[in-house]
Structure 1
Amino acid sequence: MEVLSSRILIRPTDPDASTAFYRDVLGLAIYRTFPGGTVFFLGQGLLEVSARGDGTASPNVAVWMQVRDLAAAVEELAGAGVTPERGPQLEPWGLREAWIRDPDGLPIVLVEVPEDHPIRTDVRDQRH
């Protein structure tokens, strides 16, 4: 299978409220709109808010968003009225995380990768 593109689809109970949350509160840039939906840039992926769902957020699904500065992101969100479900903390696996929820309760994990974390380690030969 050759995957050319991908995106996460969410079906909110109130598409207008969810679109406003992702656009205005989280500040995600719009990739494209179409009748009945909006597709947002989500770092290296895309997030589509379209149609209408029953509002049941699955406990098995979360959106993972890496941010440059977790404390600044949480402060910015607080200014927009978003209270973290779990404030910034260093996890046992070495990432700094905070958790928020979208209007339908979908968990969103905000992640900062510390400079010394293996994900950020540059394994290239540093000799020139």
Structure 2
Amino acid sequence: MTTEPSRVRQLRVIVEAEDYDAAVTFYRDVLGMPELIAYAEGGDDRVSILDAGRATLEIANPVHKAVIDRVEGVSEESPRIRLAFEVDDSAAVTDELDAAGARVVAPPTLTPWKSLNARLSAPAGLQITLFQETVDAEERAGLPGFDTDESR
């Protein structure tokens, strides 16, 4: 893995939500992503920028996408793009989001990489994964299937 600083300062995912109020309530108030700033130019024009903590871009080939779906217990076809949120207690947050209107696609499941992952269909047409790390990064790196070889 690289130790060079990233030229990118922030990853911002922009999602069009037909039901703006429901989406903001779900992600800001229920999931707990604080609002950094909101803009409006009048009329129905509104946007809210929510703090999602540290951002990463996970790029998976189709075979790995299928592996993730399988180990997370997902039986329906997942979209090419989904959002994943690291939380402290994926089971509790799954219950909260389910009660707030998300549909549980797969309940919290312990993956081979020792994350407790749940998959939900959420407002704004997004499929999301909630994941809770149960081991530290050093222990995870020693698990079978972890390849951090940069020489490829």
- TM-score, length-scaled by structure 2: 0.61
Stretches of structure 1 that go unaligned for 5 or more consecutive residues are 46-57, 124-128
- Percentage of identical aligned residues: 30
CA RMSD of aligned residues (A): 2.6
Give the corresponding residue for 1:6.
Answer: 11
Matched, 1:114 2:103: no
Higher helix share: 2
The alignment of Structure 1 onto Structure 2 pairs a total of residues equal to 109
| Runs of 4+ deviating beyond 3 Å | 78-83, 120-123
Preserved contact between residue 114 and residue 134 of structure 2 (Cα < 8 Å): yes
Alignment equivalent of 2:125, drawn from 95, 105, 111: 105
Distance verdict in 2 for CA 1:9–1:90, change over 3 Å: same
Is 1:40 the counterpart of 2:55? The answer is no
Aligned match of 2:87: 67
Pairing 1:21-60 to 2, within 5 Å after superposition: 21-35=26-40, 36-45=46-55, 59-60=79-80
Unmatched 5+ stretches in structure 2: 1-5, 41-45, 56-77, 142-152
Displacement of 1:16 in angstroms is: 2.2
TM-score (norm 1): 0.70
Q: Which has the higher strand share?
A: 1
Q: Is the 8 A contact 1:94 1:114 kept in 2?
A: yes
Superposed CA deviations along residues 81-128 of structure 1, whole A, max 9, x for unmatched, are 44421100012333210011222331110001112x5x25499xxxxx
Shift of residue 42, structure 1, vs aligned partner: 0.5
